[in-house]
Chains A and B, each alone.
Chain A
Amino acid sequence: MSADEATDVTELLHAWRDGDSAAGEALFARIYGELKKIATAQLRGERPGHTLQPTAIVNEAFLRLMRQHGIDWRDRAHFFGLASTMMRRVLVDHARARNRLKRRSNETPTAFLATTGDAPQAELIDLDRALVRFAERYPRQTQMVEMRYFAGLEIEEIAACLDLSPATVKRDWQFARAWLVAELSGGGTGGR
Chain B
Amino acid sequence: MNDDELPGLFAEALALADGERRDFLAQLQGRDPELAAELARLLAGAATPSRLLDLAPWPIVAGEVELADDTPPPERIGAYRILRELGRGGMGRVYLAEEATADFRRTIALKVIDRPAPDALRRFRDEVRILSSLEHPGIARFIQGGRDSDGTWLLALEYIEGEDLVAYLRRRALPVAQRIELFLAVLEAVAFAHQRGVVHRDLKPAHLLVGPDGRPRLLDFGISKLLDPETHESLAVTRTEARALTPAYASPEQFRGEPVTPASDIYSLGVVLYEILAGQRPFATGGDSRAALERAVLATDPEPPSQAARRTGAADETGAAHPSRPPQRAFGRDLDAICLKALRKDPGGRYATADEFAADLRRFLDGRPVLAHRGGWRYRALRFAGRHRGRIATYGAFGLALAAIAFAWSVQERSTMKGSAAIGAAAAGAQPPSPVSVASTGTESVAELEHRFAAAPASLEAGAELATALLRDERFKEAAVVMARARQLPGAAEEPLLDKVEGLIANSLDEPQRALALFRRGLANAANRGRSDLVPSLQVALARTLSDLGQAVEGRAVLLAGRAEAERLGDRSTLALALNDLAVDELMQGNLAAGERLLEQALVPAHSLADLSRVGFILDNLSGIAIERGRPDLAEARYREAIDVWEKCGRKQRAAIATGNLALALADLGRSTEAAAAREAAIAALRTFGDRSAIAVVLASRANAAVDAGDLAAAEHDTDEIDTAAQAAGSRESLAYSEELRGRIAWLRGDLAAARRNFEQAENMHVADGDLDLAAEIAILRATEEYREGASGTAEALLTAALARLEGGGEGTTAILAEALRVGIEASTGKLAEAQARLARMGDQAASPSLTRQLAYLAARGTLAASLGRSEEARSDLRRAATLAGAGARPAVALELKLDLAALEHRAGSSLGASVALEVENAAAPLGLHHLVARARAFRTPRSLQTLR
Q: In the complex, A44→B51 CA distance in Å? A: 26
Residues in B with CB closer than 8 Å to A110 are 61, 63-64
A-B contacts besides A40-B65, A53-B59, 13 pairs, CB < 8 Å: A41-B243, A45-B242, A47-B86, A50-B61, A51-B60, A53-B58, A67-B238, A112-B65, A148-B56, A175-B11, A179-B42, A189-B41, A190-B34
Tell whether A19 is near chain B: CB-to-CB under 8 Å: no
Query: Are the CB atoms of B240 and A64 closer together than 8 Å?
Result: yes
Query: Are the CB atoms of B57 and A174 closer together than 8 Å?
Result: no
Residues in B with CB closer than 8 Å to A178 are 10, 42-43, 45-46
Main secondary structure of the interface of A (DSSP, over half): helix
Residues in B with CB closer than 8 Å to A153 are 289, 291
Q: In the complex, A52→B245 CA distance in Å? A: 11
Given A52-B244, A181-B50 in contact, is the A46-B62 Cβ separation under 8 Å? yes
Tell me the residues in window 58-85 of chain B with beta carbons closer than 8 Å to chain A beta carbons. Answer: 58-67
Tell me the residues in window 24-50 of chain A with beta carbons closer than 8 Å to chain B beta carbons. Answer: 38, 40-50
Which residue of chain B is the closest to A57 with respect to CB atoms? B244
Q: 1/0 per position for A141-172, CB-CB distance to B under 8 A?
A: 10000001111111001000000000000011
Tell whether B294 is near chain A: CB-to-CB under 8 Å: yes
Q: In the complex, A56→B257 CA distance in Å? A: 14
Choice from B48, B60, B242, B287 contacting A41 with Cβ under 8 Å:
B242
Top 6 A-B pairs ranked by shortest CB distance?
A110-B63, A182-B45, A181-B45, A55-B290, A47-B87, A51-B59
6 contacts between A and B (CB under 8 A): A59-B291, A109-B64, A110-B61, A152-B289, A154-B287, A157-B291
Residues in A with CB closer than 8 Å to B58 are 53-54, 113-115, 120
Residues in B with CB closer than 8 Å to A66 are 257
Tell whether B102 is near chain A: CB-to-CB under 8 Å: no
Given A112-B63, A152-B56 in contact, is the A44-B88 Cβ separation under 8 Å? yes
Q: In the complex, A67→B11 CA distance in Å? A: 43
Please list the residues of chain B having a beta carbon within 8 angstroms of any beta carbon in chain A.
1, 3, 6-7, 10-11, 14, 34, 38, 41-46, 48, 50-53, 55-67, 86-90, 238, 240, 242-244, 247, 256-257, 287, 289-292, 294-295
Residues in B with CB closer than 8 Å to A45 are 62, 88-90, 242-244
Residues in B with CB closer than 8 Å to A49 are 61-62
Query: Are the CB atoms of A48 and B62 closer together than 8 Å?
Result: yes
Query: Are the CB atoms of B290 and A182 closer together than 8 Å?
Result: no
Query: Are the CB atoms of B11 and A101 closer together than 8 Å?
Result: no
Query: Are the CB atoms of B290 and A138 closer together than 8 Å?
Result: no
Choice from B41, B90, B290 contacting A44 with Cβ under 8 Å:
B90
Query: Are the CB atoms of A59 and B67 closer together than 8 Å?
Result: no
Residues in B with CB closer than 8 Å to A177 are 45-46, 50, 53
Query: Are the CB atoms of B51 and A115 closer together than 8 Å?
Result: yes
Q: In the complex, A27→B925 CA distance in Å? A: 90
Given A138-B7, A179-B45 in contact, is the A67-B88 Cβ separation under 8 Å? no
User: Which of the listed residues B63, B86, B291 has the most CB atoms from chain A within 10 Å of its own CB?
Assistant: B291
Which residue of chain B is the closest to A110 with respect to CB atoms? B63
For chain A, the count of residues having a C-beta within 8 Å of the partner chain is 71
B256 to chain A, nearest CB (A): 7
Query: Are the CB atoms of A152 and B57 closer together than 8 Å?
Result: yes
Tell me the residues in window 174-192 of chain A with beta carbons closer than 8 Å to chain B beta carbons. Answer: 174-175, 177-185, 187, 189-190, 192
Residues in A with CB closer than 8 Å to B89 are 45
Q: In the complex, A114→B58 CA distance in Å? A: 7
Residues in B with CB closer than 8 Å to A174 are 10-11, 14, 46
Q: In the complex, A117→B42 CA distance in Å? A: 29
Tally the A-B contacts, defined by beta carbons under 8 Å: 188
Given A73-B256, A181-B50 in contact, is the A189-B11 Cβ separation under 8 Å? no
Tell me the residues in window 115-139 of chain A with beta carbons closer than 8 Å to chain B beta carbons. Answer: 115-117, 120, 123-124, 127, 137-138
Q: 1/0 per position for A63-88, CB-CB distance to B under 8 A?
A: 11011100001000000100000000
Q: In the complex, A47→B42 CA distance in Å? A: 41
Residues in B with CB closer than 8 Å to A59 are 290-291, 294
B24 to chain A, nearest CB (A): 15
Choice from A114, A141, A148, A189 contacting B60 with Cβ under 8 Å:
A114
Query: Are the CB atoms of B63 and A42 closer together than 8 Å?
Result: no
B467 to chain A, nearest CB (A): 29
Main secondary structure of the interface of B (DSSP, over half): mixed
Residues in A with CB closer than 8 Å to B243 are 41-42, 45
Which residue of chain B is the closest to A170 with respect to CB atoms? B11
Residues in B with CB closer than 8 Å to A109 are 63-64, 67
Which residue of chain A is the closest to B256 with respect to CB atoms? A73
Q: In the complex, A127→B53 CA distance in Å? A: 9
Which residue of chain B is the closest to A120 with respect to CB atoms? B52
Which residue of chain B is the closest to A45 with respect to CB atoms? B90
Q: In the complex, A192→B2 CA distance in Å? A: 10
Which residue of chain A is the closest to B288 with respect to CB atoms? A53
Q: In the complex, A187→B849 CA distance in Å? A: 92
Query: Are the CB atoms of B57 and A53 closer together than 8 Å?
Result: yes
Q: In the complex, A111→B67 CA distance in Å? A: 11
Query: Are the CB atoms of A181 and B48 closer together than 8 Å?
Result: yes
Q: In the complex, A55→B3 CA distance in Å? A: 32
Residues in B with CB closer than 8 Å to A51 are 59-62
Residues in B with CB closer than 8 Å to A101 are 67
Choice from A56, A116, A149, A182 contacting B244 with Cβ under 8 Å:
A56
Query: Are the CB atoms of A68 and B289 closer together than 8 Å?
Result: no
Given A73-B256, A154-B289, A192-B3 in contact, is the A182-B60 Cβ separation under 8 Å? no
Which residue of chain B is the closest to A63 with respect to CB atoms? B257
Q: In the complex, A44→B777 CA distance in Å? A: 60
Which residue of chain B is the closest to A40 with respect to CB atoms? B65
Residues in A with CB closer than 8 Å to B257 are 63, 66-67
Q: In the complex, A105→B68 CA distance in Å? A: 11
Q: In the complex, A151→B290 CA distance in Å? A: 9
Query: Are the CB atoms of B87 and A138 closer together than 8 Å?
Result: no
Query: Are the CB atoms of A43 and B10 closer together than 8 Å?
Result: no
Residues in A with CB closer than 8 Å to B53 are 127, 149, 177, 180-181
A128 to chain B, nearest CB (A): 11
A85 to chain B, nearest CB (A): 14
Residues in B with CB closer than 8 Å to A113 are 58, 60
Residues in A with CB closer than 8 Å to B65 are 40, 43-44, 112
Which residue of chain A is the closest to B10 with respect to CB atoms? A175
Query: Are the CB atoms of B52 and A127 closer together than 8 Å?
Result: yes
Residues in A with CB closer than 8 Å to B52 are 115, 120, 123-124, 127, 184
B780 to chain A, nearest CB (A): 54
User: Which of the listed residues A52, A101, A105, A148 has the most CB atoms from chain B within 10 Å of its own CB?
Assistant: A52
User: Which of the listed residues B55, B57, B244 has the most CB atoms from chain A within 10 Å of its own CB?
Assistant: B57
Query: Are the CB atoms of B57 and A50 closer together than 8 Å?
Result: no
Choice from B56, B63, B238 contacting A149 with Cβ under 8 Å:
B56
Q: In the complex, A7→B64 CA distance in Å? A: 37
Given A54-B57, A154-B292 in contact, is the A171-B62 Cβ separation under 8 Å? no
Residues in B with CB closer than 8 Å to A141 are 7
Q: In the complex, A189→B244 CA distance in Å? A: 41
Q: In the complex, A45→B220 CA distance in Å? A: 13
Q: In the complex, A150→B242 CA distance in Å? A: 21
Q: In the complex, A144→B686 CA distance in Å? A: 55
Given A109-B67, A120-B52, A184-B50 in contact, is the A47-B88 Cβ separation under 8 Å? yes
Residues in A with CB closer than 8 Å to B1 are 192
Q: In the complex, A80→B247 CA distance in Å? A: 17
Q: In the complex, A53→B291 CA distance in Å? A: 10
Query: Are the CB atoms of A56 and B290 closer together than 8 Å?
Result: yes
User: Which of the listed residues A64, A67, A138, A157 has the most CB atoms from chain B within 10 Å of its own CB?
Assistant: A67
Q: In the complex, A60→B11 CA distance in Å? A: 36
Query: Are the CB atoms of B42 and A111 closer together than 8 Å?
Result: no
Q: In the complex, A160→B872 CA distance in Å? A: 87
Q: 1/0 per position for A4-34, CB-CB distance to B under 8 A?
A: 0000000000000000000000000000000
Given A179-B45, A181-B53 in contact, is the A42-B64 Cβ separation under 8 Å? no
Choice from A38, A56, A183, A185 contacting B247 with Cβ under 8 Å:
A56
Residues in B with CB closer than 8 Å to A154 are 287, 289, 291-292, 295
Residues in A with CB closer than 8 Å to B6 are 175
